[in-house]
Structure 1
Amino acid sequence: MVVIPAGSFDMGSPDSENSRNDDEGPVHRVKLTAFALGKTEVTRGQFSAFVRRSKYITGDKCVTLNGSRFEEQSGRNWRDIGFLQTTEHPASCVSWNDAKAYANWLTHKTGKPYRLSSEAEWEYAARGNSASARYWGDNPDEACGFANVADFTAQTKVPGASFWLLHQCTDGFAYSAPVGSFKPNAFGLYDMLGNVTEWTEDSYHDSYQNAPLDGSAWQGNTSGRVLRGGSWNSSPNLVRAARRCVNRPDERFSFVGFRVARILP
């Protein structure tokens, strides 16, 4: 875990940012208290230990590659997502519900208050005090030193990737990479962009109008939950600190995982 210092930042993207979406605004100032965040995404080995010790049962369907298309497939889960993984790869094919169960188990196991980060905490931590679109700068083609993204490696090794919008660089990984394989951001966090898209606590709202200004999670009546960060199959427009995605809390994808936050005493 890395202690993220208290501070404030402008959340969202300005109108001038390339590929921005309307749900990334209005830009608003958020002030946060200090919290701790996982240095890396939760690994397959860590998630396996949780399942084994808690007897937790996940679902047996996941959206994974079927040939050159992403489709929901029965029999696919975090144990078998359709490509080779080690215990050091990020856990994927895990739902928001699964991630919450892991955080609750970790709280019970350690006696420390673990949870998913709020969307504001996630963006603040991902930016690492940078106001640029990505924590390494605004140029998406510099991604490959910092993030596992859709790139020339995927183009040559992943079925259908020749039709993807690619970063013009080579990161060396066709699918997900072991956590910590790339340079960290200024806070010392790895893979905040790329590798796997990460669940956050928040319900999805299509605008930041009336969003909390204290960094807390924004709950609502919608069932969709916010995901952040982009993944190994993400094009440049998706790999930005302000980019937001939404899925149902029971859905699982081979390119979605999570990291945990912890409340500080």
Structure 2
Amino acid sequence: MVRSRLSSSPNPLLLEGGEDSKLPSAPRREGLGEVGRWLLAALFVLVGFPALAQTPPTWDEKNWNPKAADGDIVMPMPCGGRMVFRTVETPTGDGSSGPLDDRQVTLGITDPETDYIEHSRKDYLAGGLTSRDGRRQFLIGKYEVTADQYAAVMTEQCPVPAAAGRLPQVNLSWYDATNFAERYTEWLLQHAKGTLPRQGDTTAFLRLPTEAEWEYAARGGTAVSESDFRARTFPAPDGIEAYAWVDGPRSADGQLRPVGLLKPNPLGLYDVLGNAAEWVLEPYRLVRVARLHGQAGGQIARGGDFRTAGGRLRSSLRVEIPPFDPATGKATRLPTIGLRLVVSAPVSASLARIDALRAAFAAIEKGRAGETDPLDLLSRLAEESTDPDTRRAVEAIAQALTTERTARDEADARSAKSAIYAAATMIRSIRDLDRRLGPVKARWELAEKTRSQNPADADEWKTLYDSTQQALDISKRAYRDILVQTADDYDAARLAKARDVLVAEFEAQGLPSFVRFAKLFVAQVTDYAKTRRDDDAGWYRQLVE
């Protein structure tokens, strides 16, 4: 997706039943004359957007998009401001369920200290927008809403863009945040028609993200591998302090920081962890082993803030905030919590979509009604039949189904065996690269000491070291992906049976190291399946011992 520009680029989201829309510049107010400006100001006050009464100052791009990038979607704001969004894809499988297709994701993390709050669990997600080529997606703010952006919508005076205005807007309640989304949507509908995408017969709107939307985007969505998605944070090769403002003198140092100064997550979102925590849409619930608990509580702040220690920062971090402060008698407002908006759309976007939803549900329900084991049904039918020909026909069908099921089970067994074989091969590759890396690094460091005499030799060893390290990193990530996917696809009994078959084959081939690798892999998969706790460092130590 190319970077959108307000003045000319079409909205990249062509939605069901809609057409490409333009992202227009903020309304012009020049040439009205003094009386005209006063009349326009009075009109804007009456419709509830008092900040529009002033001639807006020019906002430099650094005030609303300090790290411009391809794929940015820019929307206008009152007072000449702008807000930038990023697209979050939510691929939903094979399309067999039509509009009821959604994406299963694993949220949370397994940690005895926080399991009752953040325990790993399955959830389901589907973007409320549909692209030109039929992909489900939603838009989410590239940055936390800044003080200037908030003031442009909510205050009577247009803010003068300044450095302080680039700080995240904090000290606002959950109700303030939802009110901001409401008023910004109203302004776009009234003063920038065509900016918000259309979905069928309806128009998209702004709101707070759901917990699933927020965590899915924070983890990196489809921009990361499944194992990286389930990790404690999104991939941060330069250390978390290069991506998030956290507690400490080398990072936030106890102060809120302007948006967009650090590196983004894999989806191009800035400050999604640290800096200001962010309100989400739904109320807080505890976790009751693999699902949310039934009691709904206060509001939720996600992502940690500038006072959170780097070692405690995680994509699953969620904190309950009481909605009201008894000491003040008002809604809770904290200097550590801000917001980030999403763009979504109503589910029932048109009569045609309602018909499609009804048909999709009926198809799924019909499929579920037939989930009784067909072999049991055929067995009962054969027993109850008094006609010999009918009984023989039913028994033949049952035999065919038994044969098909056996073939499928055998295919699953072969697949599990292949996964273990691939992992064992990957372990050997990791061990070889790990052993090679040390000597190569030593030769490179030695060559660096004599670089002035032979720079080509130093460059050659540096290139070899970098390529070896890169190959090792790729192999480790691939192994981690195989481990996580195998834990999802096969139960312990299936894996143990496949392991035993493969071990016997390795022993017959005189490959004792592969016997050990196969056993180690299955042990790590089994442990992960029980705990759902990533242990990259521990796994790696075991692999290279």
Please report how far the alpha carbon of residue 109 of structure 1 lies from its aligned counterpart in structure 2 after TM superposition.
Answer: 0.6
Q: Tell me, in whole angstroms, the C-alpha distance in 2 between the residues paired with 1:52 and 1:2.
A: 26
Whether 2:269 is the aligned partner of 1:189: answer yes
The structure 2 residue matched to 1:133, chosen from 224, 228, 232, is 232
Counterpart of 1:14 in structure 2 is 110
Counterpart of 2:121 in structure 1 is 27
Q: Tell me, in whole angstroms, the C-alpha distance in 1 between the residues paired with 2:254 and 2:218.
A: 23
Please report how far the alpha carbon of residue 98 of structure 1 lies from its aligned counterpart in structure 2 after TM superposition.
Answer: 0.5
Counterpart of 2:32 in structure 1 is none
Please report how far the alpha carbon of residue 47 of structure 1 lies from its aligned counterpart in structure 2 after TM superposition.
Answer: 1.0
Q: CA RMSD in A?
A: 2.8
Q: Tell me, in whole angstroms, the C-alpha distance in 2 between the residues paired with 1:86 and 1:103.
A: 22
Give the direction of change, closer, same or farther, for the CA distance of 1:197–1:238 in structure 2 (3 Å limit).
farther
Whether 2:316 is the aligned partner of 1:242: answer yes
Q: Tell me, in whole angstroms, the C-alpha distance in 2 between the residues paired with 1:225 and 1:54.
A: 30
Please report how far the alpha carbon of residue 14 of structure 1 lies from its aligned counterpart in structure 2 after TM superposition.
Answer: 2.5
Are the counterparts in 1 of residues 146 and 165 from structure 2 also a CA contact under 8 Å?
A: yes
Counterpart of 2:409 in structure 1 is none
Are the counterparts in 1 of residues 122 and 291 from structure 2 also a CA contact under 8 Å?
A: no
- Specify the SS of the correspondent of 2:278: strand
Are the counterparts in 1 of residues 125 and 213 from structure 2 also a CA contact under 8 Å?
A: no
The structure carrying a bigger helix percent of its residues is 2
Are the counterparts in 2 of residues 43 and 88 from structure 1 also a CA contact under 8 Å?
A: yes
The structure 1 residue matched to 2:338, chosen from 237, 257, 263, is 257
Once the two structures are superposed, the pairs formed by residues 1-265 of structure 1 within 5 Å of their partners are 1-7=85-91, 8=103, 9-15=105-111, 20-33=114-127, 34-53=137-156, 86-111=164-189, 112=196, 113-129=205-221, 130-137=229-236, 142-151=239-248, 153=249, 170-171=250-251, 174-207=254-287, 210-211=291-292, 222-236=296-310, 238-249=312-323, 250-263=331-344
Please report how far the alpha carbon of residue 27 of structure 1 lies from its aligned counterpart in structure 2 after TM superposition.
Answer: 1.7
Of all paired residues, the percent bearing the same amino acid is 29
Query: How many residue pairs end up in the alignment?
Result: 209
Query: Comparing 32-41 with 220-229, which one deviates more in the overlay?
Result: 220-229
Give the direction of change, closer, same or farther, for the CA distance of 1:172–1:22 in structure 2 (3 Å limit).
closer
- Specify the SS of the correspondent of 1:203: coil
The structure carrying a bigger strand percent of its residues is 1
Are the counterparts in 1 of residues 285 and 297 from structure 2 also a CA contact under 8 Å?
A: no
Q: Tell me, in whole angstroms, the C-alpha distance in 2 between the residues paired with 1:29 and 1:201.
A: 16
Please report how far the alpha carbon of residue 133 of structure 1 lies from its aligned counterpart in structure 2 after TM superposition.
Answer: 0.6
Query: Comparing 97-106 with 231-240, which one deviates more in the overlay?
Result: 231-240
Please report how far the alpha carbon of residue 38 of structure 1 lies from its aligned counterpart in structure 2 after TM superposition.
Answer: 0.4
Please report how far the alpha carbon of residue 143 of structure 1 lies from its aligned counterpart in structure 2 after TM superposition.
Answer: 1.6
TM-score of the superposed pair, with normalisation by structure 2: 0.36
Q: Tell me, in whole angstroms, the C-alpha distance in 2 between the residues paired with 1:238 and 1:252.
A: 23
1:44-79, Cα deviation, whole Å (9 max, x unpaired): 001111222499xxxxxxxxxxxxxxxxxxxxxxxx
Larger Rg: 1 or 2? 2
Equivalent AA in structure 2 for residue 40 of structure 1: Y
Q: Tell me, in whole angstroms, the C-alpha distance in 2 between the residues paired with 1:26 and 1:134.
A: 14
Moved over 6 A (4+): none
Q: Tell me, in whole angstroms, the C-alpha distance in 1 between the residues paired with 2:157 and 2:177.
A: 13
Give the structure, 1 or 2, with the largest relative contact order (CA under 8 Å, sep 6 or more).
1
- Stretches of structure 2 lacking an aligned partner (at least 5 in a row): 1-84, 92-102, 128-136, 190-195, 197-204, 222-228, 324-330, 350-545
